[in-house]
Amino acid sequence: MPTAIFGSIEAGAIYALMALGVYLSFRILDFPDLTVDGSFVTGAAVAAVLIVGGTNPFLATLIALFCGFAAGCMTGLLHTKGKINPLLSGILMMIALYSINLRIMGKSNVPLLSEETVITKLSGFWQSLGLDNGLDALLAGTGFAPKTWGILILMLLLALVVKVMIDSFLKTDFGLAIRATGNNETMIRSFSADTDLLKIIGLGISNALVALSGALIAQYNGFSDVGMGIGMIVIGLASVIIGEAIFGAKTIVRATLAVIGGAILYRLIVTLALRVDFLETGDMKLITAFIVVCALVVPKIVERQRENQRKKRRLVQSKQKANESGEQFAAIKTNS
């Protein structure tokens, strides 16, 4: 059990990169981008094929990131220049990428188990630092010691670095224009911004992060599979929505942190749900859908109940006031 939980936090930290990408398209650009299902696998496929072919895994991962960027730009082009509806342009790109991913891999599954990957290299680097024993002491009471702390800590660090980069990017002149594009397109166009270009670049960056996440997940799991992206957009949305509901989204700095938290939390919930006896691995998509529905509906119900309680309190208070003034009135009458 602790192994599974530890593993889900590790994976959550890697999936957080994908969730940050979805946050960029879904929240910042207000563009529900289904390309994610395809570009996640594109990242995985490119990295896997290059690594098997002997490329340095870090370089392979970087190339995967650029491929994701290109895929996102294509979706942006379809939408802006082809004037295709956002959802449809994402779906078209997703379906096209399925075939492209198969072509890249040449088969439906590329194993990486015996290869040198980013994950194995980072674990090796971490071991050379010799910090694990000290960290194990933290969990001494539980009698559980993970194989390595390296992946968890380095991947969390990566997610945080990407988060800080996104935060500061969205505060630049260019970033402000991207945010305004998702917020009020008429306005930003009247301030001399090329909204087509901003959308294309925005979607490119979003899918670059998704592909990076895909490349790392493939190396983490030890394989790339053509079906590994199915439902990825929903997982991304789940992470964004859960994160925002629990950790808040008042400012961008807070929202991006919330998205990372949401991604990890999502993995934890799924891991715990799969422990329930009557649920099977195949039920995962159903669980995901259920979680998203809960994250969307529950906050609204809570808010409505709070509002009702406030109303009740106000009603009681105004009644009390009315009674008090009534008594005073009676007192004055008897005195006179």
Partner 1 sequence: MLQLKQIHKVFNEGTPDEKIALERMNLHLKPGDFMTVIGSNGAGKSTLMNLISGKLIPDLGEVIIDEKDVTTVKEFKRSRLIGRVFQDPMAGTAPAMTIEENLAIAYSRTTSRGLKRGVTKARRDFFKEKLETLHLGLENRLQAKVGLLSGGERQALSLLMVTFTEPKILLLDEHTAALDPSRAELITALTKEIVEAYNLTTLMVTHNMQQALDLGNRLIMMDKGQIIFEANEEQKQKLSVDKLLEEFQRIRGEKMSSDKAVLI
Least separation, in Å, of the C-beta of 19 and partner 1? Answer: 20
- Nearby residues of 57 by Cβ (< 8 Å), 6 or more positions away: 47, 51, 115, 116, 117, 118, 121, 219
Count the Cβ atoms, other than its own, within 10 Å of residue 197: 14
Q: How far is the CB of 253 from partner 1 (least distance, A)?
A: 13
Residues 233-252 as x/- pattern, contact with partner 1 by CB under 8 A: --------------------
Write the single-letter amino acid at 101: N
| x/- track of binding to partner 1 for residues 111-150 (CB under 8 A) | ----------------------------------------
Looking at beta carbons only, is 30 or 307 nearer to partner 1? 30
Convert residues 166-195 into a mask of x (bound to partner 1 by CB under 8 A) and - (unbound): --xx-xxxxxxx-xx--xx-xxxxxxxxxx
Interface with partner 1 (CB under 8 A), residue total 23
Among candidates 22, 41, 10, 27, which has minimal Cα distance to 235? 22
Instruction: Choose the binding region for partner 1 from 56-64, 163-171, 282-290, 328-336 (rule: CB under 8 A).
Output: 163-171
Q: How far apart are CA 224 and CA 42, in angstroms?
A: 9
Provide the 3-class DSSP secondary structure of residue 256. helix
CA distances from 313 to 175, 307, 309, 316 (A): 45, 10, 6, 5
At closest approach, how far in Å is the CB of 81 from partner 1? 13
Listed residue (323, 22, 9, 24) closest to 166, CA to CA:
24
By CB under 8 A, tell whether 318 contacts partner 1.
no
Whole-number minimum distance, CB 236 to partner 1, in Å? 20
Which residue type does 222 have? G
Q: Which residues bind partner 1 (CB under 8 A)?
A: 168-169, 171-177, 179-180, 183-184, 186-195
